[in-house]
Structure 1
Amino acid sequence: MTDERPGARMWQSAREAVGSARFAQAVALLAIGLAFSTHAITALIGWPGLIAALATLIVLAGFSLVARWPAVEWYGILPLTILVFVAWCAASVIWSDTSWLVATRVAYLIAFGVLGVYVALMRDTIQIVRAFGDVMRLLLGLSLALEVLSGILLDLPITFLGIQGDLAELGPIQGVFGTRNMLGFVALIALLTFIIEWRTKISRRGKALASVVLAGLCIILSGSPTTWVALGAALVALAALYGLRRAAPATRWRWQIALIAGGIAALVIGWLLRIRIIELLDARAEFDVRLDLWREASRYLALNPLQGWGWVGEWPGRVPYLWIETMTGRDHASALSAYIDVYFQVGVIGVLLFVALVGVALVRAWLLASTRKSPVYLWPALMLVVIAVTSFAESFAIVEGGWMLLVVCAVKAARDMSWRDALAPATPTRRPKNAS
């Protein structure tokens, strides 16, 4: 007995450490940081290093889940929309010509999805906002520091990170994210997160204002037209939610219907005036690139319209992607639209499932944001608005950080507003939902 007691105490101490809230917080921060730093990580230590870090994080998350098993409410853990979409992507292994490649890419998708589920399960919404805020401050600060080093102090590009060193000309800049559009996307997420931090008093006023200035500066210097459109949509959504939260509960549904009608009208007007809007945003060149890419991709969509070519996420150097790049004369990592990318890779069924995933999550998050008192409920709704709008012109939502963010928001919205809760029998052991 005396030989076993020290080992038992060590095991108990290790289990308590792994099952602690501090450990869950650290894993959540590392998961978010990894998901949004993949470009910089692969530039520094390559794909083997990224995969090793990802696998290590998943193992740590698994240990944490096991240690905290009794405290986790497993009922209704995942929205069916996520499960069905991922299952369809996995099924594309069957009809793909490169089954091994599809299998590895589906595993990559699932890995970041698992980390997203872990973050949503282990942290409440206000803790998630704090975690995203801390990570975004670090990444945007590092990006701006490297841009100053490259564009002003050295006046040389940092090639391996994709930094062009154009800060002296006021951009566009790329930071540690590889492209200006990805920087703009992250900066917009950060800006909205910092605003929610300020409204919920997570951060002191001075820190919150400095963070907002940092994010706003990165948005401006990124020069990303897609980000400006998404920012406009997010501000309109924020104003609409601000009004809804102050409307009388008895009349709120009328305002919801009016907003839906107004949104549809805005989409129609935007489509009719799309050329003028593109010119005002000085985005004609980017639009032409996308139009050429989509036109070429449509030629190959006709060959596999129902099931697509198989899930790959970021485009590999294989056919038919090589054929599209050859015809457009450019290298592409995606179809520059999440909806078209999903359509191309997993067909009509896949894109309908993806739209359902984003749409159902957005509706749930919107209803929560418009009825719950705490400003923290605004965060998932605003994130999903940004994802839904950005996905028209970028494919961030189906890979790495964008996908993990989508999963986090969808899981949090489903756990607070699930149709399965309404059908579940009431039991005295069932824990109430966490209001934060």
Structure 2
Amino acid sequence: MSPPRSTAKALADFIGSARMAQALSLAIIGTGFGTHLIRSLLGWPGLIAIIAGLLVLSALSLVARWRAVEWYGILPISILVFVGWAAASVIWSDHSLSTLVRVGYLFAFGFLGVYIALMRDTIQIVRAFGDVMRLLLGLSLALEVFSGILIDLPIDFLGIEGNIAALGPIQGVFGSRNFLGFVALIALISFMIEWRTRSVQRGRTVLSTVLAAAAIILSGSPTTWIAFAAAGLATAALYGLRKAAPATRWSWQLGILAAAVVAIVAGWLLRVRIIGLLDARGEFDVRLDLWREMNRYLAQNPLEGWGWVGFWPKATDPYVWLQLGTGRQHGSGLSAWVDVYFQLGIIGLLAFIALVGLAFARSWLLASVRRSVVYVWPALMLVVLIVWSFAESFAIVEGGWMLLVVCAVKAARDMSWRDALREGRPAG
């Protein structure tokens, strides 16, 4: 064997190795949830270069492990429909080139999410999220201490206001207190799953939990507490379902569904009091003003929307008019549901609801019946994403979108109607 061929084979073996997949998964998750930090340090060109590099390496890794991947039905049809409709919006968008680029950005993080779901087991994904979140939250609190206590000055280019001495709100390396609270909550859930599966030492679990809890409290994000309560109730419900006898499990499922509907209705009826208790009147009014302004423009394109953009462009209509109408700068519609409706119309919203709904239903059923506690993680991640989608658009951009894709793909591969059809097909 010639030396060049030996080198090529060694390189192919390295790219296709499990260690490479592990390293890539960590880098992808770190990039997905560290985009604000990367943009602040390197700008958009630096972030795009990193994403492009991850896409190339992920594609090479998939090719190198081609035979080890089960390609049949790798993607839920709901993901294909949603991304396909977003891509189709290039046709009717008033800014087709911008929409095309932004659909590519959506596709890039979606592809990276698919890579993680295909190449790593669920427990490996939980460990990867846990490791990345420990680093990002630790860095966030360290910078907040440096800014708010040591130098007593804000770090403007990172968006850190230096309020930790006043016990918040803090932003960390995430640009906003809400995104910090969102990340801290999914980190806390990941740390709990690590503890329950005995994947890490107890001391690390305790320190990680304290870190995540401190970030949640100091973020001062009202929505985080609502999502925390929802995740807690979902955890209790799943604990009961997993302990229930198989013969009575469906009855309990229906009871929990009815209780959830009652809780949602009660929450809506008591929304004013809840908002007052959380001291979130100001945030709610900001969202309400924006949604009212968006509703004026929705009447023009109710079926197909204005075309996909993800993050809102600052100088493009109709978004510039929304900024002027509300008197505030907005980077999103402050709700994934409203944002999708505005950008992709009723059809896009229905596709997104189907994507999230199917992913959640599959994840919930798997978490209810599978013996390993690791199956609880995707279900709780989706609970958090669903709740947060009423107040922020995290679920349709960057790390939040990638997390949604990971959960949807893992759930579909473990509970697929296409597999059921294939298994039920007569041989011949």
- Give TM-score, length-normalised by structure 1: 0.97
**Aligned residue type for 1:80:** I
In 2, Cα distance between equivalents of 1:264 and 1:229: 16
| CA–CA distance in structure 2, aligned partners of residues 253 and 230 of structure 1 | 25
TM-aligned CA deviation for residue 103 of structure 1: 0.1
Partner SS for 2:2: helix
What residue is the counterpart of 1:159 in the other structure?
156
1:226-274 Cα shifts (integer Å, max 9, x gaps)? 1110000000000000000000000000000000100001011000000
* 1:397 alignment partner in structure 2: 395
Match of 1:183 among 173, 180, 183: 180
Q: CA deviation at 1:389?
A: 0.7
Distance in 1 (CA, whole Å) between partners of 2:77 and 2:407 is: 14
Residue of structure 2 aligned with 1:204, choices 201, 204, 208: 201
Q: Which residue identity does 2:207 align to in structure 1? A: A
What pairs with 1:66-77 in structure 2 (closer than 5 Å)? 66-77=63-74
The equivalent position to 1:226 in structure 2, one of 205, 223, 229, is 223
Question: What is the identity percentage for the equivalent residue pairs of Structure 1 and Structure 2?
Answer: 69
Shift of 1:290: 0.4
Match of 2:358 in 1: 360
Distance 1:74 1:124 in 2: 16
Match of 1:93 in 2: 90
Indicate how the Cα distance of structure 1 residues 47 and 215 shifts in structure 2: closer, same or farther if over 3 A, else same: same
Cα distance in 1 between the residues matched to 2:282 and 2:102:
31
Q: Do residues 342 (structure 1) and 331 (structure 2) align? A: no
Question: Once the 2 structures are TM-superposed, how far is the Cα of residue 209 of structure 1 from its aligned partner?
Answer: 1.1
CA distance in 2, matches of 1:426, 1:133: 39
- Asked if 1:240 corresponds to 2:237, the answer is yes
**Greater than 4 Å deviation, 4+ residue runs:** none
Deviation, structure 1 residue 425: 4.4
Query: Mapping of 1:259-338 within 5 angstroms?
Result: 259-317=256-314, 318-338=316-336
Q: What is the alpha-carbon root mean square deviation over aligned residues?
A: 0.8
State the AA in 2 paired with 1:224: S
Asked if residue 253 in structure 1 is aligned to residue 247 in structure 2, the reply is no
2:41 to 44, 49, 69: 44
Whole-Å separation in 2 of the counterparts to 1:364 and 1:193:
19
Whole-angstrom distance in 2 between the partners of 1:360 and 1:300: 30
Where does residue 407 of structure 1 map in the other structure? 405
The count of corresponding residues between Structure 1 and Structure 2 is: 424
Q: CA deviation at 1:275?
A: 0.2
Which position in structure 2 is the counterpart of 1:144? 141
1:126 aligns with 2:117: no
**What CA distance in whole angstroms lies between the structure 2 residues aligned with 1:382 and 1:213?**
20
SS in 1 for 2:74: coil
Quote the offset at 1:327 in angstroms. Answer: 1.0
Gaps of 5+ in 1: 428-436
Q: Give the structure 1 partner of residue 23 of structure 2.
A: 26
Structure 2 gap segments, 5+ residues each: none
**1:4-19 counterparts in 2 under 5 A?**
5-19=2-16
C-alpha deviations, 1:319-340, integer Å up to 9, x for none? 1011011011100000100000
